[in-house]
Amino acid sequence: MPLVALTDAVDWSHFFVLVTGRSSRDALWLSMKTALASTVLCVVLGVPMAVLLARVRWRILPLLRAMVLLPLVLPPVVGGLALLYLFGRYGLLGRRLEAMGIEIAFSTTAVVLAETFVALPFLVITLEGAMRTAGERYERIAATLGAAPTTVWVRITLPLLRPALISGAVLAFARALGEFGATITFAGSLQGRTRTLPLEIYLQRENDPGAAVALSLLLVVIAVLIVLVAYRRVGVPEGREWAGGLWRWGGSGRVRVPE
C-alpha cells in the first residue's frame, strides 16, 4: 500500500522532466557507480569472512559474527560517525592518512566505504548460511582424491556457492543503492561527488516535493528490476530441485554437481 500511494502521488505529466534534471542525473550516476564499487568490495571482503565463520571453529567465533553482523542492527548514522572517527581528518587512521596526503572523509571514497559498511552483512550472512547447508563433504572427498586446496575451492566450493554469492551480491548492491544515514554523516552531500540518489531525494523533499516523489519511485523501480533480474538468473531450472548445493533431477533420483 505505501508503494501504491507513492505511485498515486507522482505527477506523471512531468515525471520525465523531474527525473532527468542535472542534479538528478548526477545523483543517479553516482549512486550506480558507488553501489557497484561497494558490491565488489563486499565480495572481496565478504567471501573470506563467510568462509571463516562457516568453516573455522574458534571460541571467539560468536563475537566475530556479532561484529560482522552489527551493521544490521546499528543505526546507519552511528555507523557513519564510527567511520568518521576512524577515517576523518582527526580520526584514528585519518590523521595518519592526512599526513600522507590522503583524504577519505567527505569524498566519493567515503561514500563507497559507508555503503560497504552497511551492505557487507547481507552478503556474509547469505554465504555463511549456504556454506553451512552444503556442508564440507564434497570438499573432503575431492581432497581425499588428491585435489589441491585451490582446485577444491575453484572446482567444488565456488560452483556450490554461486547461487548464494549472486543473491548476496544483489542484496548488498540494493542495500548500498539505498544507503542514506551513514553516507550523509561520513561523506556529506556534495553534488556530483557524494550526493547519491537517496540524499538527492531528501534534499528535493524540502525544495521540490514533486521531484522527490518522482525520484523515490525511480529508485524503487531500479531496486525491483535489479532483484528480479538477479533472482531470475539464479532460479531453479525446470525439472530440477536445488538440494544441499546440488541439482537433483525430479523423479530420476540422479544428483550432479552444477557445471
pLDDT digits (tens, 9 = 90+) for 132-185: 887 777 778 888 888 887 888 888 888 888 888 888 999 899 999 999 999 999
**Least confident among 32-36, 138-142, 175-179, 232-236:** 232-236
pTM, full prediction: 0.83
Q: How many helical (H) and strand (E) elements, i.e. helices and strands, does the chain have?
A: 13, 3
Q: What is the pLDDT of residue 75?
A: 92
Backbone angles phi, psi at 14, to 5 degrees: -120, 15
Name, in order, each residue with C-beta under 8 angstroms of 155's C-beta and a sequence gap of 6 or more: 142, 147
pLDDT digits (tens, 9 = 90+) for 46-65: 999 998 888 877 788 888 88
Retrieve residue 118's grid coordinates.
552497511
